[in-house]
Amino acid sequence: MRSLILAGGRSSRMGRDKAVIEIGGSSLISRVAKALSDASLEPIRIAVSNPEDVDHYGRTIDDEIEIEWVVDAEPHAGPIEAIIEAAFDNGGNSSPIQLSPVDVPWVTSELFLSLAETLEDGDILAMPNDGVWSHPLLGLIRPKEVGEFLLRDRRPLHEQFSEARHSLLMVDPKLIRNVNYPDDLEGYSP
């Protein structure tokens, strides 16, 4: 399987680039890449907004991790565009793609492995659910089916994916907590 880190956002709520914020001595992007690598989800494609991000982010990620960089065709177009591009730019590979936003620093390889076990035949994706919300940006997707699904509809992902045939994995909310605001970093560890 492969994976896609969505790192092309503006980080406007945080006020600074979330990808390079450090927790425990590692950047958020490095922590997510390590969890994906530990789950054998390489190559890891990282979608960024600007060419400068490749070097900037790349310096914080372990050189041993197999990374493919892709610059969004339209900067800050949003995750749907990056997912569609990854779904159709797969070289004929039909294996599932694990999605992850850059701002889930406590995600684990075990969560990714559990999603792979959760994806059922006939479902186009498997998503974690924290007991309140499903998290589509942490979904394990079937690329062709999801790509075609997203091309037909441009509503927010959480609306689209909730209507698609999917599997849910119940998880500890601490593992998939997003870091969106500076206060989200204070005194938090799973």
In a domain, 190, yes or no: no
H helix or E strand, kind and range, residue 28 = helix 28-38
Residue 146 located in a structural domain? yes
d(CA 91, CA 89) in angstroms, rounded, equals: 6
Query: Domain residues for 68?
Result: 2-180
113-116: long-range pairs with CB below 8 Å, 24+: 113/39, 114/169, 114/171, 115/139, 115/140, 115/169, 116/1, 116/39, 116/140
- Report yes or no on 136 lying in a domain: yes
Question: Residue 185 falls within a domain, yes or no?
Answer: no
Q: Give me the phi and psi of 70, to 5 degrees please.
A: -140, 130
Examine residue 189 and state whether it is found in any structural domain, yes or no: no
Percent of the chain with pLDDT over 90: 69
Total structural domains within the chain: 1
**Of the spans 55-59, 83-87, 160-164, which averages the highest pLDDT?**
55-59
* Residue 95 included in any domain: yes
Q: Is residue 56 part of a domain?
A: yes
Mean pLDDT score, 102-107: 96
Q: Among 27-36, 139-148, 180-189, where is mean pLDDT lowest?
A: 180-189
| pLDDT, tens digit (0-9, with 9 covering 90-100), for 130-160 | 999 999 999 999 999 999 989 988 788 888 8
CATH number of the domain where residue 139 is located: 3.90.550.10
CB 48 within 8 A of CB 54: yes
DSSP states along 87-146: HH-STT--S-EEEEETT-TT--HHHHHHHHHH--TT-SEEEEE-SS-B-GGG-EE-HHHH
Segment 164-184 mean pLDDT: 93
Q: Is residue 49 part of a domain?
A: yes
Structure confidence at residue 9 as a pLDDT band (50, 70, 90): confident
Q: Is the pTM of this model over 0.75?
A: yes
Give residues with Cβ within 8 angstroms of 189, minimum separation 6.
106
Query: How many beta carbons lie within 10 A of that of residue 55, not counting itself?
Result: 9
Please identify which residue in the block is written with the tokens 């450090």.
22
**Structure tokens, 125:** 């994706």
**Count of beta carbons in the 10 Å neighbourhood of residue 178:** 17
